[in-house]
Amino acid sequence: MKIADNVYWVGVVDWNVRDFHGYSTMYGTSYNAYLIKDEKVVLIDTVKFGFEEDLLGKIEEITDRIDYVVVNHVEMDHAGALKAVLEKYPEAKIVTNARGKRGLKEAYGIERDVEVVKTGDRLKIGKQELMFIETPMVHWPDSMATYLIEQKILFPNDAFGMHYASSKLIDVELSEEDLEKVFFEAAKYYANIVLPYSQQVRKVLDELKKIELKMICPSHGIIWKDNIEKIVKKYDEWSSGKADRKIVIAYDSMWGYTEKALKKIVEGIEEVGVPYRIYKLRNSDFTELMAEVMQSKGLIVGSSTLNREIFPSVAAFLTYMKGLKPFDKVAAAFGSYGWSGEAVDKIVQVFKELNFEVVGAVKFRFSSDEKSEELKELGRKLAEKL
C-alpha cells in the first residue's frame, strides 16, 4: 500500500495471534515495515520471522533492489526477517545504532558492515534525507526512530503503536467505533510494554517537539495521520502519570467472604460518586486490567489468605503489575482470612514498594460483618482522596 509519495507499507497483518509474549492480543496485530523509493531504496524494519515470504513478495512488487535496511529495533517481531532480506538483497547496507549493531550479532549472528548512527545523524537517499533519533528503553536499549525530513514522516518502531489487526491501515479510514478501540489498544500497549520506561518516553517527547509531524508510522497497528496530536498527548499523559478520577478494584475470594466485603467498600465509593470498575482476577485479562490501572488514579486490591500468602491469582497480578511500575496511585487493601491473615499486609507492602499512597487496609477473620462500617469508610476515604 502506498501511504505517501514514494513511501509504501510492506508489512504483514497477523490476524491469528492471541498471545504476544504473555500479552493478550484479542484483535491480532501487524508487523509494519516500510519502503522508501528515492535514488536509494530504503527498507525500514522487517517483520516477524515466519512472514518472510509475505514481506519479500510485497517488496518485489515495488522494486528489484534495496540499498539500505534501517533497523530501528532488533527484537524478533521487527528484525526476524532480516536474514531473509539480506540473502535476497546482499548488497543492502544495514543502518542502526551501536546497541543495534551489537544486538544483531548476539540475536541473529549477523556480522557485516553496518552504518552506525546516533541522534541527529542524517542519511541522504536522493532528493530526500533521513534523520535518526535514538529512543533507548522505549522499549529496548537499542530502540530508535527514523524521520523522513521532507515529508515529515516519523517511523518510531514500537512507540505510538498497538496490537491491532485491520484491513485498514491509516486512522483516516477507521470508523469512530474502531478508532475508540484503537486508542484503548494503544493504552493497553503502553501500560503493558512501555509504562516502566515512562521517564525515557518524556525525553523522547521532548525530542519530538523539535520536528513537525504529518504522519507517524509505528511498527504495530494503525498509522497515525489525523490523530497525531491526540496520540502524542496521550503519551504525554501516560508518561507523566496523569490518570482519570476513577477506581479499579481487583480481587479474588476463596469462600466468598472477601467478595462479600467488596460490596461494603463499593457502598462507600458510591456515596462519594467516583466511577469504578471491578475485576475478579481469576476471570480477568491482566493486560486489559493494566490499561485500566494506568488510566485510573485509585486502586483497591482484595485477597483471601492462603497458606500465609496472597491468594494465587491476586499474587500473580501483583507480580505482573509490580514489573510494569505504575506510579502516582492512591491505594487500599482488604481481605478475609481463617488462620493467620498475612495477605493484606503483603499487598500493602507491594503498594509501598511502588510508592503508592496507601489510605488504609482492612482484614477480617472469615465474615466481614463486624467490619462493615470500616470497609465502607475505606471505600469512602479513597474516593474522597481522588
Q: Catalytic amino acids?
A: 21, 73, 75, 77, 139, 158, 189, 220
Distance CA 69, CA 34 (A): 10
Whether residue 320 contacts residue 290, with contact meaning beta carbons closer than 8 Å, is answered with yes
Distance CA 359, CA 22 (A): 32
Orientation of helix 312-324 relative to helix 286-294, angle to 10°: 50
Whether residue 207 contacts residue 60, with contact meaning beta carbons closer than 8 Å, is answered with no
Distance CA 279, CA 318 (A): 13
For the chain, give the number of residues: 386
Q: How many CB atoms lie within 10 A of CB 86?
A: 19
Distance CA 92, CA 101 (A): 15
Four-residue CA torsion sign, 96, 102, 103, 104: positive
Residue 50 in grid coordinates: 515466519
Residue 22 in grid coordinates: 504473555
Place of cell 548488497: 91
Distance CA 384, CA 373 (A): 16
SS3 for 182? helix
Q: Which residue in 42, 77, 104, 83 sits closest to 220, CA to CA?
A: 77
